[in-house]
Amino acid sequence: MLSYPRIFFLVSLLVLWVAAQVGTWLRRRRPLNQGEREDFNVVEAATLTLLGLIIGFSFSMAITRYDLRKNYEEAEANAIGTEYVRAGLLPAADAAGVRTQLGKYLELRLRFYRTRSEQELQQIDADTAQLQREMWSAVQSPAVAHPSPVIALAVAGMNDVLNSQGYTQAAWWNRIPRSAWTLMMAIAVCCNLLVGYGAHGAGAKSGLLVVLPLVVALAFLLISDIDSPRRGFIHVVPQNLESLSQSLSK
């Protein structure tokens, strides 16, 4: 569900609204007296503050992961562009083959960032792994046949290309743990339960009890959207790879 931010938003909104309604039902069953009201207000304020802090920390975690994915996209573009230039250090026939492979590899990396289909992603991963083996063989053969410091630069550049893809994949897998989401949702449910329990007068009968569930659900939507690389509203745009592709095509 966390991979589908919009569905998660609707589910969390419903759960939190139900929690607030349960709180109002408990208040009718066992209302607070004047002596308990002051202590309840302290507990309610502390719990809401804790929820705000946890949402803030979770948002910071999601932003950090999003920035990491952007940085690795830039690193991939730099590695591919550098290797495309260094391929000229190889023998002419090998250099042409490596540059052709790098062009195909660049298109695969662009598709990796743009696709939203899991089935297409599996095919892209398989094609990427196959092409990586071919590219490594393409620089390994001349390096073994004619070992020299100059050719070693091309081999090192290809190594950077392969490593950058691994770092990118690890960054896309690195998301906020499900256990953290579970605990955050549990705290949010408790907060809405307390708000519903503490509501009294006209506020308990109006639509004000939907405000906190809506605001918290929107915060969850934003965090899950940023934390979800392929679905939602916010994505990592491969602008560096696109710029490299345009420059190579020229």
Rounded Cα gap, residues 231 and 199, in angstroms? 37
In this prediction, residue 207 carries a pLDDT of 67
Q: What is the pLDDT of residues 153-197, one digit of tens each?
A: 999 999 999 999 999 999 999 999 988 999 999 999 999 998 888
In this prediction, residue 38 carries a pLDDT of 77
Inform me whether the pLDDT recorded for 202 exceeds 60.
Answer: no
Range of the structural domain that residue 135 is part of: 5-249
Q: What is the pLDDT of residues 71-89, one digit of tens each?
A: 999 999 999 999 999 998 8
Domain count across the chain: 1
Nearest 5°: the CA angle 40, 41, 45 is 120
Q: Is 103 exposed, middle or buried (0-12, 13-18, 19+ CB in 10 A)?
A: middle
> Mean per-residue pLDDT for 137-142?
91
Rama region for 33: left / alpha / beta (φ>0; ψ in -120 to 50; rest): beta
In this prediction, residue 231 carries a pLDDT of 80
More confident: 229 or 60:
60
> Mean per-residue pLDDT for 120-149?
91
